[in-house]
Structure 1
Amino acid sequence: MKLAAKLTFAILLLLALLLNLGAAWLIGSGFSAQLQAAAQQNAAAHRAECYQLQKEMIDTPELETQPALVTRYGQQRTAQAGEGLAILSEDGAFLYSGTGMKNGWQPVLRSVDAGADSMTYAKEGTNVWQLFASPVQWQGRTLWLVSSCDVSEVFQLRNQQLVGFVRLELIAFVGVTLAIWAVSRRLTRPLKTLEETSKAIAAGAYDRRTGMTGTDEVAGLAASFDAMAEAVEQRAQQLDLAVRQREDFVSAFTHELKTPMTSMLGYADLLRSAEVKPEVRQRAANYIYHETKRLEALSAKLMTFIALDPEHKTLELRPVSLAVLAEKAARTLPETCPVQLCWQGFETGCVLGDEELLTALLENLISNGVRAEPKDGLVHISACANSGQVEITVRDRGRGIPQTELERITEPFYMVDKSRARAQNGSGFGLALCDRIARLHGTQLEFESQPGEGTAVRFTIKEAGE
């Protein structure tokens, strides 16, 4: 909802509240006064009717025992007084009923139950009556007289006043709404300019400014906004430069080049500096050749990968053998590695993915497990197929990661223990790369870790069909 609409709505709501409270008080107080006056007048008439019934009891001793006499008396009094009444015996039996109500016996009994000289109300449709009940006694005889006085006009007048007020209020609100809307639109127009400028800046037009002048609060806000936009533009330029520098650095010194390059240099130095057996020379040459080809392909992938959007599947997914992934990932570890890899479920099966990137993903996760210095000297890598998916888990019983660090470990260059990571040739880029590779394959990394207990990293990838 726009601010102008909110202002209009709030003002109208406050105005309606005040007007309706005032009208309710005025109409209600007038209604109460009229109803009280009618009650006093009707109570006086009821008392007079009680005296008349008592006189009739004196003049006609058989009145209580002769239904015909009671009926004639009730009809006469109803015709003379213009008010309804009912006469009941001492035990609550109706001797005469002329209240003017279709179902008057229930309200009459409630009035009698309320006690002497009490007043109750009865309603049928739009008609409302005041009921007054009093016992009339003479020489040990008791009759109950209930007078019913129609006060519908008082309620109808109150309802007419309410209807008239509502009509007048609606007519007034139409005009007031138009006036308030026009004023609100004018007052909020500078805010509209601020909104349009902020959207333009959010879209990349960092040079946009409001250009508003004045001395009021909105003009001051606009000036502060322009100053903020200037600072944002400068900061954005600095961030763009920093991002370009970081991407250049990552492209030139990617984490994935270190371990295979070291092994390749070692084999090359062995071939260059010493005479070795033909089978050793052949094995070293093969390793250097295969790793060079893999790094060549991986480097090309990584250079392209920097510009990829992880939210879209831009990779060409092909069947990749789990056994080949295990073989390539294991081959990257040095022969003197103090940690033993325990593979489970990689003997058969294929997944859909990019072989080089999935190999890099496993290499990084295994390398992190090795660096964690597991207590049992083992890193467990398991693959479990289920419903067309393969869940791959890399688990170690090493140092573990604090829970407060888990949310940030996939950030580029973030290191939980910087001194230890650098001592182990870490760059803080491995898990960031793993996270992006996982997302490019339509999955994500899930971490479970406890300090001193170890870490488990798992991801799920589609299983390749037969």
Structure 2
Amino acid sequence: MKLAAKLTFAILLLLALLLNLGAAWLIGSGFSAQLRAAAQQNAAAHRAECYQLQKEMIENPDLETQSPLVTRYGQQRIAQTGEGLAILSEEGAFLYSGIGMVNGWQPVLRAVDAGADEMTYAKEGANIWQLFASPVQWQGRTLWLVSSCDVSEVFRLRNQQLAGFARLEVLAFAGVALVVWAVSRRLTRPLKALEESARAIAAGSYDRRTGMTGTDEVASLAASFDVMAEAVEQRARQLDLAVHQREDFVSAFTHELKTPMTSMLGYADLLRSAEVKPELRQRAANYIYHETKRLEALSAKLMTFMTLDPEHKTLELRPVSLAALAEKTARALPAECPIRLCWQGFETGCVLGDEELLTALLENLISNGMRAEPKDGRIHIAACWEGSQMEITVRDRGRGIPQTELERITEPFYMVDKSRARAQNGSGFGLALCDRIARLHGTRLEFESQPGEGTTVRFTLKEAAG
């Protein structure tokens, strides 16, 4: 069902509910008031009839035993009042019945069973009566008087009002339906444009937009749709980039394995198949050993890299002493390192983080700085407070990185100078690990570099409370 049809149906249903509830209350309240007024008037007439019967019992002591007297009395009262009545003995036997119904004895007995001052209803065909029953007593003698009052006109008037309202409602609904359908079609027309845009985007036209303007809800929806379409387009670009990066990753990883494995296989085959000089055997064994260690380290870094996925892993951040962090990082570096580390601002203070991962982060950044061969033989590691955050900076005056390479240096296996990096036992994983560790701590690595001038890496950490 189309939205316009749903809106029309819903509005008509609500209108029908409100109109019928209003009509039911209005007609019902009028009907109840008329019925109460008739009941009060008929009850008063019944009480007057009881007084009249009591007077007749006084004037005719043998009234209940003389059938002609009771019959004459009943016919006179019906002729005078125009209402039906029945007179019964104390035991419930009919002395006279002029109730106005073919099977009037049944309603009369129900009225007597209901008791004095109670009103009951009787229906026969299209006619409806109110029945009142009361005992009339005089000097130990008791008669039951039952009065029947026709209230059919009250019910007929209500039914006429309901029928008139139904005819008026049908005409009103026909007119309202046409108007609501036209308005609904006009209001839902922009949604058709949204649907067409959605279909185009689903078909691959990610640059499709609705271009709607306005201040109403549909225009706001269209604007939100365009924002969503923009996000979808960006996400598609990111997925394409991720696919290319994954392909580059697999290609680089395969290359990293293939080159040493080929050489190791050649040396192993040489050692296995022929007698070689001791010097050559030693060189082959050393090469196999060192390449095996390098592949082992590469495997360990790869495993670490895969486990530190910010999208699927969260850290429990704890207070980490800056002094302890500096000391632990310095111990992790080679003791015979010719580069001097200049620590600044690490004497006091605590940050929130994982001590082991932060140590690995600083160790990798410092190792990268060492491979850059700083001109002054120093790497500066500084920490300073920026409000409630600690900014940590690692700076060297080494070879630097070209601006065109900065965007990709955190990709796994990406190396600015592959030959130099491999000669220095680089794997292309250091900055990729650093980037993931930083993101797990809710921060990002920011790089500033100029070829020949050096590189600066900075990131921020939250202050540990207390």
Scaled by the length of structure 1, what TM-score is found?
A: 0.51
Counterparts of 1:17 and 1:52, CA distance in 2 = 51
Which residue does the alignment assign to 2:413?
none
The within-5 A match list for 1:347-362 is: none
Residue deviations 1:52-76 (CA, integer Å, cap 9, x gap): 3223222322221234443443344
Residue 252 to residue 106, structure 1, CA distance change in 2 (3 Å): farther
Which residue does the alignment assign to 1:91?
91
Cα offset for 1:190? 1.4
Residue deviations 1:399-443 (CA, integer Å, cap 9, x gap): xxxxxx9xxxxxxxxxxxxxxxxxxxxxxxxxxxxxxxxxxxxxx
Q: Does 1:205 align with 2:205?
A: yes
Which residue does the alignment assign to 1:5?
5
Residue 275 to residue 74, structure 1, CA distance change in 2 (3 Å): same
Q: Which amino acid aligns with 1:22?
A: G
The within-5 A match list for 1:428-443 is: none
Residue 77 to residue 236, structure 1, CA distance change in 2 (3 Å): same
Cα offset for 1:215? 3.7
Residue 153 to residue 268, structure 1, CA distance change in 2 (3 Å): farther
Cα offset for 1:127? 2.2
Cα offset for 1:100? 2.3
Cα offset for 1:244? 5.2
Which residue does the alignment assign to 1:135?
135
Residue deviations 1:138-174 (CA, integer Å, cap 9, x gap): 2211101000111111101101100110110111011
Counterparts of 2:249 and 2:98, CA distance in 1 = 104
Q: Does 1:117 align with 2:117?
A: yes
Which residue does the alignment assign to 2:186?
186
Which residue does the alignment assign to 2:70?
70
Residue 215 to residue 51, structure 1, CA distance change in 2 (3 Å): closer
Q: Which amino acid aligns with 2:12?
A: L
Residue 268 to residue 93, structure 1, CA distance change in 2 (3 Å): farther
Which residue does the alignment assign to 1:43?
43
Q: Does 1:229 align with 2:229?
A: yes
Counterparts of 2:113 and 2:251, CA distance in 1 = 97
Residue deviations 1:229-271 (CA, integer Å, cap 9, x gap): 12211221221342355468669989xxx9xxx9x99999987
Residue 237 to residue 135, structure 1, CA distance change in 2 (3 Å): same
Residue 242 to residue 83, structure 1, CA distance change in 2 (3 Å): same
The within-5 A match list for 1:26-37 is: 26-37=26-37
Gaps of 5+ in 1: 277-404, 406-466
Q: Which amino acid aligns with 1:240?
A: D
Which residue does the alignment assign to 1:177?
177
Q: What SS does structure 2 have at the residue aligned with 1:211?
A: coil
The within-5 A match list for 1:277-296 is: none
Identity of aligned residues (%): 82
Counterparts of 2:141 and 2:114, CA distance in 1 = 21
| Equivalent residue pairs, number | 273
Cα offset for 1:219? 2.4
Counterparts of 1:157 and 1:54, CA distance in 2 = 36
Q: What SS does structure 2 have at the residue aligned with 1:64?
A: helix
Counterparts of 1:250 and 1:2, CA distance in 2 = 50
Residue 14 to residue 57, structure 1, CA distance change in 2 (3 Å): same
Which residue does the alignment assign to 1:20?
20
Which residue does the alignment assign to 2:145?
145
Q: Output the aligned Cα RMSD.
A: 3.4
Cα offset for 1:22? 2.6
Q: Does 1:243 align with 2:243?
A: yes
Cα offset for 1:211? 1.8
Residue 268 to residue 104, structure 1, CA distance change in 2 (3 Å): farther
Q: Which amino acid aligns with 2:116?
A: A
Larger Rg: 2
Counterparts of 1:71 and 1:200, CA distance in 2 = 94
Counterparts of 2:247 and 2:60, CA distance in 1 = 118
Residue 251 to residue 60, structure 1, CA distance change in 2 (3 Å): farther
Cα offset for 1:43? 2.2
Counterparts of 1:253 and 1:76, CA distance in 2 = 121
Which residue does the alignment assign to 2:61?
61
Scaled by the length of structure 2, what TM-score is found?
A: 0.51
